[in-house]
């Protein structure tokens, strides 16, 4: 394991090899689900790149030099960290080129163009890269195209579909997979998010490989809703009108703050998506396909997989609409209506595990 990072050995190896051969790219786009450790990975990589003791081709920061200590404390003068400000849904351009009074004299693009204060390079980490708009992406393009010597810029987002083509074409994509159930289980206990092994097991199975989603499910109200909700997501029991009423009430119970309600709705959407992702994994095993062939039901099985994919697409779309501040009640109603249509198109029952 590298630097306490669980579950991303292939990514570690990729960076180790590029550094060893002096072929490190200047800009990366880390993509993968939330809560799998992309940000932590980026910070550790920055620490290694800025360490004053490790050699130029080393991925091992010493952890003790001034540079390492400052990077770990989030205070390194050559490390810029930016992300979505609280309450905002778009990365503002001032993060990159300074505000009106300090245009091109402040911000990430200015900082990274300056001579490093402590070492040989500067590093920038941009969280929430799903939230660029054309204006903020345009501010960054020139820096991505012609980065200063040695500079490394790491953008962190969730999926390719949420990135602008201008960003995609100028960065090297690095994919982070969901964490294995066993890794999540271990981390939940290590970080004392789960109170015991039983809860850790339950959360690990339900969270779709994301530690952040697992932590959200610790909320007893959300967990209880999950247990009540998911058995209703099968064609014979699905009643979109009744579910919409129940879920809108549940979201409103999160409190007066818009952000709390948005977070609860996001948790619901992700909970349903994780459930179907789990079904997809169990439906697409070779044994499953083999028994389907033997029973002459392959067609039916393929139909089930298509439906699950359609449901997953629709859940992702709903999450994007939520980010765009769509009306939450209409979003829920339309989402459930569309799921009802998907269920209605095929009579096959979804097995509950
Ligand atoms: Zn060091």
Per-residue pLDDT of the chain (353 residues; tens, 9 = 90+): 899 999 999 999 999 999 999 999 999 999 999 999 999 999 999 999 999 997 778 899 999 999 999 998 999 999 999 999 988 889 999 999 999 999 999 999 999 999 999 988 999 999 999 999 999 999 999 999 999 999 999 999 999 999 999 999 999 999 999 999 999 999 999 999 999 999 999 999 899 899 999 999 999 999 999 999 999 998 888 999 999 999 999 999 999 988 899 999 999 999 999 988 888 877 665 555 555 445 445 555 566 788 889 999 999 999 999 988 889 999 999 999 999 999 888 766 664 43
CA of 260 to the centre of ligand 1 (A): 39
CA of 64 to the centre of ligand 1 (A): 5
CATH 3.30.460.80, domain 9-175, yes or no: no
CA of 52 to the centre of ligand 1 (A): 5
Q: Which two tokens stand for residue 312?
A: 């997953």
Contact (Cβ atoms closer than 8 angstroms) between residue 17 and residue 26:
no
CA of 2 to the centre of ligand 1 (A): 15
CA of 210 to the centre of ligand 1 (A): 30
CA of 177 to the centre of ligand 1 (A): 28
* Domains of the chain by residue range: 9-175, 180-212, 219-345
CA of 67 to the centre of ligand 1 (A): 6
Q: In 3D, which of 132, 139, 111, 105 has the Cα closest to residue 123?
A: 111
CA of 53 to the centre of ligand 1 (A): 5
Tell me how crowded residue 222 is: count the other CB atoms within 10 A of its CB.
Answer: 17
CA of 76 to the centre of ligand 1 (A): 12
What ranges in the chain are assigned the alpha helix state H?
9-20, 38-50, 66-73, 94-97, 108-113, 134-145, 165-168, 181-190, 197-206, 211-216, 220-229, 240-252, 258-283, 286-294, 298-323, 328-345
Q: In 3D, which of 147, 184, 197 has the Cα closest to residue 27?
A: 147
List C-alpha distances in Å: 203 to 188, 248, 271.
8, 24, 11
CA of 60 to the centre of ligand 1 (A): 8
CA of 27 to the centre of ligand 1 (A): 22
CA of 61 to the centre of ligand 1 (A): 5
R_g of the chain, CA atoms, integer Å: 23
CA of 54 to the centre of ligand 1 (A): 6
CA of 135 to the centre of ligand 1 (A): 37
């Amino acid at each position: 394991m590298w630097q306490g990072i669980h579950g991303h050995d292939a990514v570690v190896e990729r960076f180790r090899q590029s550094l060893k051969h002096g072929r490190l790219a200047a800009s990366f786009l880390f993509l993968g689900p939330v809560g799998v450790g992309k940000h932590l990975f980026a910070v550790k990589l920055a620490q290694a790149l800025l360490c004053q003791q490790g050699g130029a081709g080393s991925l091992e920061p010493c952890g003790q030099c001034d540079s390492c200590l400052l990077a770990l404390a989030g205070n390194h003068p050559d490390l810029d960290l930016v992300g979505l400000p609280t309450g905002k849904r778009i990365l503002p351009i001032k993060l990159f080129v300074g505000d009106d009074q300090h245009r091109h004299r402040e911000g990430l693009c200015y900082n990274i163009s300056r001579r490093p204060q402590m070492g040989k390079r500067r590093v920038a980490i941009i969280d929430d890269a799903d939230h660029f708009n054309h204006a903020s992406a345009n501010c960054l393009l020139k820096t991505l195209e012609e980065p200063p010597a040695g500079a490394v810029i790491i953008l962190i987002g969730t999926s390719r579909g949420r990135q602008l083509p201008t960003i995609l074409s100028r960065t090297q994509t690095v994919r982070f997979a969901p964490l294995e159930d066993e890794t999540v289980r271990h981390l939940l206990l290590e970080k004392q998010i789960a109170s015991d092994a039983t809860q850790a097991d339950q959360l690990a199975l339900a969270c779709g490989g994301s530690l952040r989603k697992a932590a959200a499910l610790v909320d007893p109200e959300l967990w209880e809703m999950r247990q009540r909700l998911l058995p209703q997501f099968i064609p014979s029991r699905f009643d979109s009108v009744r579910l919409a009423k129940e879920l809108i009430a549940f979201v409103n119970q999160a409190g007066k703050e818009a952000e709390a309600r948005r977070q609860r709705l996001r948790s619901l959407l992700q909970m349903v998506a994780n459930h179907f992702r789990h079904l997809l994994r169990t439906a697409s095993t070779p044994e499953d396909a083999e028994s389907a062939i033997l029973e002459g039901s392959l067609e039916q099985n393929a139909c089930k997989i298509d439906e699950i994919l359609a449901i997953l697409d629709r859940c992702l779309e709903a999450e994007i609409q939520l980010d765009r501040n769509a009306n939450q009640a209409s979003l829920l109603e339309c989402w459930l209506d569309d799921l009802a249509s998907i269920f209605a198109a095929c009579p096959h029952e979804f097995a509950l595990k």
